[in-house]
């Protein structure tokens, strides 16, 4: 199955991933090849098979709804690109 | 002293032949001498010497265990408090981890010494260590060849005797394949055996940390410390940790070995096949029985993996958005530009490829055809393993279709690179434990033998490998220039 350059641009936008316009053709070709590899699975009839999300079919463990973590905002914000007054700064979203 | 195993070093430290500080200094000197390998991203010399001193004090106080004072290297995927944890990416080049991964905590508690953080494929995506932002790693056996990946720095460092042992992670073969290509022992434990807390996520349902060592005995010592339930990891399994060292001496007599027909087909290099045949003969001489088994769905492991792993990666890597930590682009025009350019400028090509594939596979209209289909195939592959493991105790086969390939040889063709993991990937889909041990050489490059076991049968894998290593010396070979 082959993808078009437009589809690659659309996926890149969905993933909020900047890709160099010069590289689009390479990605289009690589991704088409990988999708071809995936279509090998179509040779298998899997209608009656239950999907397996996790090894050993584990169930997600739950814990009691109690506070277990202490406030570490200062520690975490110390490695942030831009913070002010305890807030993470990003470009203005609402005019 | 650098040529000793952990078990030997622990004994010398106990008798006072040398101190942990002396041992740490010796390894730091070797790291300095062999910088050209590029196996480390960060060397933590000052902290290592402080830890070594603390370990010597611990010993003087009579509180030393097997890993106390032993210098190790951790893959740069494990968050280490106060130390740069880059995951091989420009995205995290400025990331000083604010907390420790559980695995790191466990090594600290055991009194082990951390020499530094090892080089790796970016976000563990690669089979040759060539996708690292910090440049490729040389294979000590043949410096123009790759060490394998993604735990290539750890494998090269252990092979070059730059540390007593190292940690790695394995999502599709990232411990076993570099272990095979560098001639060391590497174990991928059962999914859920080792905590993933603080281990930067690539594909959460496949990732598993494990030891990379000189011998099976050392792997047992390392796993003893690494394994165990952790309530900070929601997929950690509540299962007691057995005494792996006590199990090492279990004889091979009566061990039933299954040889999957699909592992020994036309894709396997004939010289490697010959080396593996000789190794399997050796197991038979030690009392094991061999039987052929068939796992018809194995051929679908690569396509299923390259849907599931990228899908999970595209979700996991969405956290790298330039807002809370990591790389941020200069002068973003708006929020979308901030996300798009920060990610675009800081992720390498292979990471982008996998994010794109995963995003596509999960996008509206394609979910059933790709992701759901892959999850169904995953079950069929797992059922194949389960059926085979009711007939036999362990499965054996190759780790990699070739020995270490040349730097740059496969970088132009992602699919050729993906096929390097053809024998290892299915094990991750099933969540089973498997290890790679040195089993010979082809043209001076190491060959690995893979042993796969049932869930939580790490003890059986380690004892099988240990018994083999008692009568062979492949694991004792040292690359020229590193002895």
A85 to chain B, any CB pair closer than 8 A? The answer is no
Question: All domains of chain B, ordered by start, with CATH?
Answer: 6-255+434-476 (3.90.1300.10)
Active site residue B174: yes
Note if the bond before B150 is cis, omega within 30 degrees: yes
Residue A92 has pLDDT above 90, yes or no: no
Active site residue B75: yes
Q: Which residue of B has its CA nearest to A54?
A: B205
Query: Inter-chain contact B333–A15, Cβ cutoff 8 Å?
Result: no
Residue A95 CA to residue B372 CA, distance in Å, equals 42
pLDDT value of position A88: 96
A86 to chain B, any CB pair closer than 8 A? The answer is no
Query: Inter-chain contact A41–B303, Cβ cutoff 8 Å?
Result: yes
Q: What is the largest CA-CA distance in chain A?
A: 58
pLDDT tens digits, B317-349: 999 999 999 999 999 999 999 999 999 999 999
The alpha-carbon gap from B381 to the nearest alpha carbon of chain A, in Å, equals: 10
pLDDT tens digits, B210-228: 999 999 999 999 999 999 9
pLDDT tens digits, B24-60: 999 999 999 999 999 999 999 999 999 999 999 999 9
Q: Nearest Cβ partner of A8 from B335, B356, B363? A: B356
The alpha-carbon gap from A33 to the nearest alpha carbon of chain B, in Å, equals: 8
The alpha-carbon gap from B246 to the nearest alpha carbon of chain A, in Å, equals: 27
Torsion of the alpha carbons at B353, B355, B357 and B361, rounded to the nearest 10? 180
Residue A27 CA to residue A34 CA, distance in Å, equals 10
The alpha-carbon gap from A42 to the nearest alpha carbon of chain B, in Å, equals: 8
pLDDT tens digits, B257-292: 999 999 998 789 999 999 999 999 999 999 999 999
The pLDDT confidence band at residue A1, using thresholds 50, 70 and 90, is: low
In a 13 Å sphere around the CA of B52, the CA atoms on its Cβ side amount to: 23
pLDDT value of position B80: 98
Least confident of A56-70, B129-143, B212-226, B368-382: A56-70
- Residue ranges of A 18-57 with Cβ closer than 8 A to chain B: 18-20, 23, 27, 30-31, 33-35, 37-44, 46, 49-56
Residue B386 CA to residue B350 CA, distance in Å, equals 33
Catalytic residue chosen out of the listed positions B19, B39, B75, B420: B75
| Interface test mutation site (partner B, options A1, A10, A15, A24, max chain B beta carbons within 10 A) | A15
Residue B387 has pLDDT above 70, yes or no: yes
* Angle of CA points A44, A48, A50, to nearest 5°: 100
The pLDDT confidence band at residue A60, using thresholds 50, 70 and 90, is: confident
Q: Nearest Cβ partner of B363 from A14, A60, A81? A: A14
pLDDT tens digits, B113-146: 999 999 999 999 999 999 999 999 999 999 999 9
* Residues of chain B above pLDDT 90, percent: 96
Query: Inter-chain contact A55–B336, Cβ cutoff 8 Å?
Result: no
**Across residues B443-454, what is the average pLDDT?**
98
Contacts for A63-67: CB closer than 8 Å, 24+ residues apart: A63/B231
DSSP-derived secondary structure letter, B440? E
Q: Are B222 and B181 in contact (CB under 8 A)?
A: no
Higher confidence at residue A56 or residue B242?
B242
Q: Nearest Cβ partner of B314 from A8, A15, A39? A: A15
Query: Inter-chain contact B356–A27, Cβ cutoff 8 Å?
Result: yes
């Amino acid at each position: 199955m082959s993808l078009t350059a437009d589809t690659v641009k659309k996926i890149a936008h969905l993933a909020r991933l900047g890709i160099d316009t010069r590289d689009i053709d390479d990605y289009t070709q690589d991704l088409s090849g990988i999708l071809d590899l995936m279509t090998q699975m179509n040779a298998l009839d899997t209608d009656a098979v239950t999907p397996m999300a996790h090894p050993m079919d584990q169930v997600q463990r739950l814990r009691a709804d109690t506070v277990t973590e202490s406030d570490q905002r200062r520690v975490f914000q110390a490695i942030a690109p831009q913070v002010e007054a305890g807030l993470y700064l990003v470009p203005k979203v609402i005019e | 002293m650098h040529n000793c195993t952990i078990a030997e070093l622990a004994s010398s430290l106990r008798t006072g032949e040398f101190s942990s500080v002396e041992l740490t200094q010796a390894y730091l000197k070797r790291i300095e001498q062999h910088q050209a390998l590029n196996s480390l991203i960060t060397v933590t010399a000052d902290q290592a010497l402080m830890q070594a001193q603390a370990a010597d004090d611990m010993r003087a106080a009579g509180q030393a265990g097997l890993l106390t004072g032993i210098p190790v290297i951790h893959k740069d995927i494990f968050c280490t408090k106060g130390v740069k944890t880059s995951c091989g990416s420009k995205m995290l080049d400025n990331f000083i981890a604010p907390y420790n991964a559980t695995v790191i905590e466990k090594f600290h508690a055991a009194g082990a010494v951390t020499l530094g953080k090892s080089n790796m494929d970016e976000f563990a995506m690669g089979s040759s260590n060539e996708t690292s932002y910090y440049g490729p790693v040389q294979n000590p056996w043949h410096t123009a060849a790759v060490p394998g990946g993604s735990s290539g720095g750890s494998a090269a460092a252990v092979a070059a005797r730059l540390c007593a042992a190292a940690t790695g992670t394995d999502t599709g073969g990232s411990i076993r394949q570099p272990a095979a290509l560098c001639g060391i022992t590497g174990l991928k434990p059962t999914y859920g055996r080792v905590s993933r807390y603080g281990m930067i996520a690539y594909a959460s349902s496949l990732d598993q940390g494990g030891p990379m060592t000189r011998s099976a005995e050392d792997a047992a010592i390392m796993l003893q410390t690494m394994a165990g339930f952790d309530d900070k990891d929601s997929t950690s399994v509540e299962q007691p940790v057995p005494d792996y060292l006590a199990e090492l001496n279990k004889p091979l007599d009566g061990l039933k070995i299954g040889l999957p027909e699909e592992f020994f087909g036309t894709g396997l290099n004939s010289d490697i096949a010959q080396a593996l045949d000789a190794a399997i003969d050796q197991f038979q001489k030690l009392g094991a029985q061999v039987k052929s088994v068939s796992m018809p769905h194995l051929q679908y492991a690569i396509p299923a993996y390259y849907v599931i792993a990228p899908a999970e990666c595209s979700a996991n890597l969405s956290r790298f958005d330039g807002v809370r930590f990591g790389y941020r682009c200069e002068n973003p025009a708006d929020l979308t530009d901030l996300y798009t350019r920060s990610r675009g400028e800081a992720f390498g090509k292979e990471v982008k490829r996998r994010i794109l594939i995963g995003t596509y596979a999960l996008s509206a209209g394609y979910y059933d055809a790709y992701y759901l289909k892959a999850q169904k195939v995953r079950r069929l592959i797992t059922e194949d393993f389960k059926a085979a493991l009711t007939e036999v105790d362990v499965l054996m086969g190759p780790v990699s279709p070739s020995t270490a390939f040349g730097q740059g040889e496969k970088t132009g063709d992602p699919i050729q690179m993906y096929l390097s993991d053809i024998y290892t990937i299915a094990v991750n889909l099933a969540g089973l434990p498997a290890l790679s041990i040195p089993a010979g050489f082809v043209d001076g490059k190491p060959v690995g033998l893979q042993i796969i076991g049932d869930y939580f049968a790490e003890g059986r894998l380690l004892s099988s490998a240990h018994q083999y290593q008692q009568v062979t010396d492949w694991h004792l070979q040292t690359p020229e220039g590193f002895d």
